[in-house]
Amino acid sequence: MSDSQSISAAVAELYNTYPFPPEPLLDEPPPGYNWRWNWTAAYNFCTGQKPERQNIRILDAGCGTGVGTEYLVHLNPSATVVGIDLSPGTLAVARERCQRSGADRVEFHNLSLYDADQLPGQFDLINCVGVLHHLPDPIRGIQSLATKLAPGGILHIFVYAELGRQEIQLMQKAIALLQGERKGDYRDGVSVGRQIFATLPKNNRLVRRERERWAMENQRDECFADMYVHPQEIDYTIDTLFELIDASGLKFLGFSNPRLWQPERLLGKNPELMERAKELSDRQIHRLIELLDPESVTHYEFFLARGELPLLDWSSDQALLNAIPERSPCMDGWEGRSLFNYDYQFVKLSEEEFQFIRACDANQDQQRTVQELLKEAPLPLEKVRDLQAQQLILLSPQV
């Protein structure tokens, strides 16, 4: 057995022992939203407009216990969904999860990402969350997915960031040392790790970081094992991340949390530093931000595309007035004035904003323009543009 096969077998064994994610199985659709898993919302984020069609094919690459797969089915009612995973144990949970919640437009295959070429056809949306960084050869993995992405399609990826996970890396190494020859016994690893945290002083750096950032989810052994005793993990910096992206041959569309990557967030109070930052490339700015605020960058979540996607610019007032607006299909807190935007920032709508979004909510069938809606729900045009920037409304050009 090759090293790559040995690692893959170890990863499969971990998830057979601790199926992940460990979310409860429900006899109803899952609660809440994740806009990154909604084709309309994700496509709008990447292009500034709604997609032309909904009858798409979606691949959940490394689906685990089907938590994301279930959302992909329920949030995309006209799509067909395929899930693949290396672990038979987690796939069994995924099948039961989707069956129980009525997510019946999905099929599962026991395949690694490397073997995605065995699937027929291509996919308009590929979701790959928390998987590439656990592969022995992530470049081979992302290249395999790239071949399955249809022209005009988008690939959604989540991978770990090195600087924001330094304490995790230290604990992983400490557990492995104390396990010795028992390394690979994942239940023993969880036991050793929990004993370490219970024994270290409360002001210990690793204990503080665990308590502040991870303790809530790590109450579950499945999450603790995935974080601290995983047999294979590659963490990235901006430099190595873009080496991975460049190797895919796909186009980088942007991070799904763009506000985090704005230099104004950290340097905006100093005009001289902001002027210096203007001399940097986008990648250099990304690197600067992760160096200055490493605790906020525990992962990278972003979109890639095959070929050029149509990117609409709504900066022109006339273009905005002629657009067809709708309410975003993924809005946590609607119908209310207090809700979360796409970046999970709390938003409190004014009465005028609320009434305009209500008018957009009824506009899916009516297909009226922004200019027409503003007659019944007056709102300054800049406020309309701000609602679109926060992904609270979606825009389409007139046909």
Each residue's pLDDT, cut to its tens digit, for the chain (399 residues) gives: 677 889 889 999 999 999 999 999 999 999 888 899 999 999 999 999 999 899 999 999 999 999 999 999 999 999 999 999 999 999 999 999 999 999 999 999 999 999 999 999 999 999 999 999 999 999 999 999 999 999 999 999 999 999 999 999 999 999 999 999 999 999 999 999 999 999 999 999 999 999 999 999 999 999 999 999 999 999 999 999 999 999 999 999 999 999 999 999 999 999 999 999 999 999 999 999 999 999 999 999 999 999 888 888 899 999 999 999 999 988 888 888 999 888 888 899 999 999 999 999 999 888 899 999 999 999 999 999 999 989 999 999 987
What's the per-residue H, E or C state across 176-222? Answer: HHHHHHHCCCHHHHHHHHHHHHHHCCCCCHHHHHHHHHHCCHHHCHH
Separation of alpha carbons 340 and 319, rounded Å: 27
Pairing mode, if any, of strands 338-340 and 324-327? Answer: unpaired
What's the per-residue H, E or C state across 260-278? Answer: HHCCHHHHCCCHHHHHHHC
> How far is CA 120 from each of CA 117, 123, 149, rounded to the nearest angstrom?
7, 9, 12
Cis-peptide, bond into residue 378, ω within 30° of zero? no
Domain ranges of the chain: 3-162+235-305, 164-228, 317-396
Tally the residues of the chain.
Answer: 399
Q: Which of 243, 321, 343, 247 has the alpha carbon at shortest distance from 287?
A: 243
**H or E element, residue 387:** helix 381-389
Q: Are 343 and 257 in contact (CB under 8 A)?
A: yes
Q: At which residue do the structure tokens 């492995």 appear?
A: 176
Q: Are 236 and 161 in contact (CB under 8 A)?
A: yes
**Of the CATH numbers 3.20.20.70, 3.40.50.150, 3.40.50.2300, 3.30.1700.10, which one belongs to the domain with range 3-162+235-305?**
3.40.50.150
pTM (2 decimals)?
A: 0.94
Backbone phi, then psi, for 62, in 5-degree steps?
A: 85, 60
Quick one: tokens of 287?
Answer: 């690197």
Number of C-beta neighbours around residue 102 at 10 A: 14
